[in-house]
């Protein structure tokens, strides 16, 4: 009875730990998805702002071209002043255009950064699924061992009550009981050595990916701030 109680207690702990991990991973997955949607929306907004600025600059450029044409037909006394003003305006437009092109490149890089993070999240999801499969196998094997241990205990009770002199049967049952108990106490033996190594590798890989995701988040946040500041500066 004590063996069964201990085994049931271990199973309960394993189940609670597994459920807690599932809840945490689900919350983290939802957070990743929400962050991705938010960033995609923000990139779209920044792209629209950049395109609007390009349209405005295009209109200004067209106005500048029209002014240049008009100056060509002006009297000689007004040409020099007009040409100087036009050259200054042209230079300013060129600077603005360079800024807009730089902003567009930053937006493209930002999209690439978000895509890289999405790929990391997908790799993490695959590793989580693989780990879940191995842990499920481990849990099911434990359940089978518990059932076997319970069956052996029931048989021992029957032998002790109905066939008290059958020492050989009793010894065999006790041997089975010890075997099942040892396997339950040594949970690592439930999986093969290669599967246990794989579990360790998966945990290490997930830890490394989590660090990479955090690093990528910092890059994305910084680049997003830089693009926003650049667009605001261009609008002044």
**Residue ranges making up the domain that contains 181:** 2-235
The token pair that represents 205 in the structure block: 């890989």
Rounded to the nearest 10°, the torsion over CA 150, 151, 152, 153 is 50
The token pair that represents 114 in the structure block: 């978000």
CATH code at 194?
1.20.1270
Under 8 Å between Cβ of 43 and 111? yes
Distance from C-alpha of 217 to C-alpha of 210, rounded to nearest angstrom = 10
- Percent of the chain whose predicted confidence (pLDDT) is above 70: 55
Give the distance, in angstroms, between the CA of residue 136 and the centroid of all CA atoms in the same chain.
Answer: 22
- pLDDT at position 211 is 92
**Number of other residues whose CB lies within 10 A of the CB of residue 73:** 7
- pLDDT at position 31 is 83
- Counting the structural domains of the chain, the total is 1
The token pair that represents 9 in the structure block: 């207690």
Its pTM stands at 0.60
- pLDDT at position 109 is 87
- pLDDT at position 150 is 66
Summarised one tens digit per residue, pLDDT across range 33-57 is: 888 888 888 888 878 877 777 776 6
User: Which parts of the chain register pLDDT below 50?
Assistant: 77-79, 188
């Amino acid at each position: 009875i004590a063996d069964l109680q201990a085994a049931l207690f271990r199973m309960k702990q394993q189940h609670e730990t597994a459920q807690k991990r599932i809840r945490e991973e689900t919350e983290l997955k939802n957070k990743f998805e929400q962050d991705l949607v938010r960033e995609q929306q923000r990139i779209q907004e920044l792209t629209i702002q950049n395109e609007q600025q390009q349209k405005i600059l295009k209109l200004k450029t067209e106005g500048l071209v029209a002014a240049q044409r008009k100056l060509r037909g002006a009297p000689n006394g007004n040409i020099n002043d007009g040409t100087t003003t036009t050259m200054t305006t042209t230079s300013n437009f060129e600077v603005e255009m360079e800024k807009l092109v730089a902003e567009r490149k930053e937006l493209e890089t930002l999209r690439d950064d978000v895509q890289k993070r999405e790929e990391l999240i997908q790799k993490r999801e695959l590793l989580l699924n693989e780990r879940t499969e191995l842990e499920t196998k481990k849990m099911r094997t434990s359940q089978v061992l518990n059932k076997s241990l319970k069956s052996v205990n029931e048989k021992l009770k029957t032998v002790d009550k109905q066939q008290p002199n059958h020492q050989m049967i009793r010894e065999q049952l006790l041997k089975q009981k010890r075997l099942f108990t040892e396997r339950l106490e040594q949970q690592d033996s439930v999986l093969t050595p290669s599967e246990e190594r794989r579990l360790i590798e998966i945990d290490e890989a997930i830890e490394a990916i989590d660090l990479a995701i955090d690093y990528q988040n910092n890059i994305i946040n910084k680049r997003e701030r830089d693009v926003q500041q650049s667009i605001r500066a261009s609008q002044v």
